[in-house]
């Protein structure tokens, strides 16, 4: 992923193209087997929830967009009948995939995929067992997701976790969750502030910018030792240490209605083509201070790409991003061995347990990157050789 992304950025930089995507959000369907409290998709697309994109239409969109990374989300992508064929065809086009799932069907659909370094399962977990099951409004989901993660790791897949931080999120519990996931061999952890969808009725779960910054300052302290795969510049933004401009075109969303404009959160139009989205969206109308709907938005879909694509660049940003990119943050376990799982794997999964430390994880047999200490950073000339 690192070399693909570096090559892609170099080519785009040389071409002088101003607006180009880094990660395409592909929603082949909006159907889901859960009704999570904070989910805007099942609400916004309620009237078209049964619509589904044919594989060929998805591939046409992937090709037109050209982003090197495709995040297959939804809805629940493992409910998409041809998910194996879709992923296989995208991989054939030399893309990288994050498949975002709630994990319920992970064991059932695992045989549809083949492990490769270009494919990650990205399993959504918003806390330990009790908390997560409350967030997704169904008992047993945490346990099923954990069983899915174990099966995926045993089969040789890369697995990341994805956690949404809400107003009520207890960051210490998230540290406990990450410690537990490390024992399962999970390769990295993504974090994002909750999306403030206008279609979600319970608005009190979402945070103001100031609240997000406080939460992420704490998260940075408590979660520093874990393999967080959020970029350093986006983390600085989330902690309120710098300003970034929204670059929503960096993470465009395609779904059964078309290209969602301007962004993953706001829908002012659906465009038939990616070119139409880029050319017919008045991008300077959107972002913090420009549109009231953007006021508290700090989501990755608007800002994670900004460090690379946007304005407000600082001296040293490029080097900071390169260092992070080449630090081996993704791919977690340095020698490929997962730590042993303690007991039944759920001892800490009730939100009340004591946090396992990396040293405890796997009874000392763990070989995760965290347990092994910081990853080796490549020398400067090595970075430029790869570029």
Using alpha carbons only, how large is the chain's radius of gyration in Å? 20
What are the angstrom distances between the C-alpha of 34 and each of 29, 110, 193, 248? Answer: 14, 19, 20, 27
Cα–Cα distance, 360 to 373 (Å, whole number): 14
Residue closest to 65 by CA, chosen among 250, 329, 193, 241: 250
Which residue has the CB atom at the shortest distance from ligand SF4?
302
Stretch that binds ligand SF4, among 18-26, 222-230, 260-268, 307-315 (CB under 6 A): 260-268
Stretch that binds ligand SF4, among 17-25, 178-186, 285-293, 342-350 (CB under 6 A): 285-293
Q: Is 358 in the site for ligand SF4 (CB under 6 A)?
A: no
**CB 164 to ligand SF4: min, Å:** 15
Residue 265-284 contact track with ligand SF4, rule CB under 6 A, x = bound: xx------------------
According to CB under 6 A, which one of 301, 338, 356, 361 is a site residue for ligand SF4? 301
Which C-beta is closer to ligand SF4: that of 129 or that of 304? 304
Q: Is 68 in the site for ligand SF4 (CB under 6 A)?
A: no
Residue closest to 100 by CA, chosen among 162, 30, 154: 162
Q: Is 262 in the site for ligand SF4 (CB under 6 A)?
A: yes
Which C-beta is closer to ligand SF4: that of 110 or that of 263? 263
- Beta-sheet pairing, 96-101 with 119-124: parallel
Helices (H), the chain: 2-15, 41-44, 55-65, 83-92, 106-109, 129-135, 141-154, 171-183, 209-223, 232-238, 274-280, 300-303, 306-309, 317-325, 380-386
Residue 228-257 contact track with ligand SF4, rule CB under 6 A, x = bound: ------------------x-x---------
Q: Is 294 in the site for ligand SF4 (CB under 6 A)?
A: yes
DSSP lists the bridge partners of residue 73 as none
Q: Is 24 in the site for ligand SF4 (CB under 6 A)?
A: no
Cis peptide, bond prior to residue 262, ω within 30 of zero: yes
- The footprint of ligand SF4 on residues 102-141 (CB under 6 A) is none
Residues of this chain that bind ligand SF4 (CB under 6 A): 246, 248, 262-263, 265-266, 286-287, 291, 293-294, 297, 299, 301-302
């Amino acid at each position: 992923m690192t070399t693909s992304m570096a090559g892609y950025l170099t080519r785009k930089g040389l071409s002088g193209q101003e607006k180009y995507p880094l990660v395409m959000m592909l929603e082949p369907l909006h159907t889901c087997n859960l009704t999570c409290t904070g989910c805007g998709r099942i609400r916004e697309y309620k009237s078209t929830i049964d619509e589904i994109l044919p594989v060929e239409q998805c591939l046409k969109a992937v090709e037109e967009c050209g982003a090197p990374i495709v995040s297959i989300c939804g809805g629940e992508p493992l409910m998409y009948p041809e998910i194996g064929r879709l992923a296989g065809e995208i991989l054939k086009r030399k893309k990288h995939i994050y498949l975002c799932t709630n994990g319920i069907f992970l064991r059932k659909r695992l045989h549809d995929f083949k492990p490769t370094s270009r494919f990650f399962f990205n399993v959504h977990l918003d806390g330990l067992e009790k908390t997560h099951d409350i967030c997704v409004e169904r008992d047993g989901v945490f346990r099923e997701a954990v069983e899915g993660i174990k099966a995926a790791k045993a089969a040789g897949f890369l697995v990341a976790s994805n956690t949404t931080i809400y107003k009520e999120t207890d960051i210490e519990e998230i540290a406990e969750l990450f410690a537990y996931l490390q024992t399962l061999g999970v390769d990295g952890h993504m974090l994002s502030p909750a999306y403030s969808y206008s279609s979600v009725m319970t608005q009190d779960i979402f945070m103001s910018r100031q609240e997000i910054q406080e939460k992420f300052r704490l998260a940075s302290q408590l979660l520093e030792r874990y393999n967080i795969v959020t970029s350093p510049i986006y983390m600085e933004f989330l902690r309120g240490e710098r300003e970034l401009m929204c670059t929503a075109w960096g993470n465009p969303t395609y779904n059964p209605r078309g290209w969602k404009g301007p962004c993953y959160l706001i829908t002012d139009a659906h465009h038939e083509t990616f070119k139409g989205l880029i050319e017919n969206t008045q991008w300077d109308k959107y972002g913090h201070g420009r549109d009231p709907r953007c006021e508290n938005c700090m989501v990755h879909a608007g800002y994670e790409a900004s460090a690379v694509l946007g304005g407000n660049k600082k001296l040293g940003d490029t080097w900071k991003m390169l260092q992070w990119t080449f630090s081996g943050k993704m791919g977690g376990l340095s020698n490929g061995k997962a730590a042993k799982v303690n007991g039944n794997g759920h001892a800490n999964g009730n939100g009340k347990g004591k946090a396992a430390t990396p040293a405890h994880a796997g009874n000392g047999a763990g070989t995760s990157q965290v347990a092994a200490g910081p990853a080796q950073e490549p020398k400067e000339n090595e970075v430029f050789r790869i570029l």
